[in-house]
A and B are shown apart, each in its own frame.
Chain A
Amino acid sequence: ETTVTQSPASLSMAVGEKVSISCKTSTDIDDDMNWYQQKSGEAPKLLISEGNTLRPGVPSRFSSSGYGTDFVFTINNVLLGDEGIYYCQQSDNVPYTFGAGTKLELK
């Protein structure tokens, strides 16, 4: 089973700043990493899929990079509406596993 270690656990940012979230995997997963946003009381929403592919309708402020075992999710010019919890998820092998999440708070 591939373990996904996500950091930091929480972030407090000002509007307009750049957010960076890291996920490290215990096995090499190529570029099979996905990123989700979960707002309070809602289901997670897919933002970026394998190969650092931005999903349709997702603003270009969101991006990701990485290959192998080290991955980074970035939000440029963060907005108030970006508050929530962000999760990474590996889809290279079963069981699909998620990071523990990063809670993003806007000051």
Chain B
Amino acid sequence: QVQLKESGPGLVQPSETLSLTCTVSGFSLTSYSVSWVRQPSGKGPEWMGRMWYDGDTAYNSALKSRLSISRDTSKNQVFLKMNSLQTDDTGTYYCTSHTMGMDWFAYWGQGTLVTVSS
């Protein structure tokens, strides 16, 4: 079955760079797209960006200058890097998958809490 799991540091210093990994199973990254979605505590989710099945990427314009998404298909992993973190970047970060090129978030990882604090 489709599974996604996020990993990365739980604590990041202000102005530093966040690096997260999403490891997927049950599907190929060359068939399904993967998006990163984050959610501040008590607020609605925010779409960050998408790694398409063909290797193309799309980003939320609000984050584009700070965000990079890449992948390693041989390891079934998608990576997120975001620089210049501030306290309002604190929240739970999810990787999600899109089935068959669709634009809804069909499957979600368990999420990883990232706290930006000194």
Which A residues fall within an 8 A CB radius of B?
A: 1, 32, 34, 36, 43-46, 49-50, 87, 89, 91-92, 94-101
Contacts and interface: CB of A to CB of B under 8 A. Distances in A.
B46 A98 contact: yes
Contacts of A99: 44
Interface in B80-118: 94, 102-106, 108-111
Secondary structure class of chain A's binding surface, majority of residues:
loop
Given A94-B58, A99-B44, A43 B110 contact: yes
Given A43-B94, A43-B109, A43-B111, A98 B45 contact: yes
Contact of B105 (A1, A32, A44, A92): A44
20 contacts: A1-B61, A32-B103, A34-B104, A36-B105, A43-B108, A44-B105, A44-B108, A46-B104, A46-B106, A49-B102, A50-B103, A50-B104, A87-B44, A87-B45, A89-B104, A96-B47, A96-B103, A97-B47, A98-B44, A99-B44
B92 to A, nearest CB: 8
Contacts of B106: 46, 49
A40 to B, nearest CB: 12
Nearest to A36: B105
Contacts of A98: 44-47
Contact of B104 (A49, A95, A100, A101): A49
Contacts, number: 51
Secondary structure class of chain B's binding surface, majority of residues:
loop
B55 to A, nearest CB: 17
A100 B44 contact: yes
A26 to B, nearest CB: 15
A77 B41 CA distance: 30
10 residue pairs, one from A and one from B, having the closest CB atoms: A91-B103, A43-B108, A95-B60, A96-B47, A34-B104, A98-B44, A49-B104, A100-B44, A98-B45, A101-B44
A44 B45 contact: yes
Nearest to A93: B103
- Which of A32, A50, A96 has most B Cβ within 10 Å? A96
Nearest to B103: A91
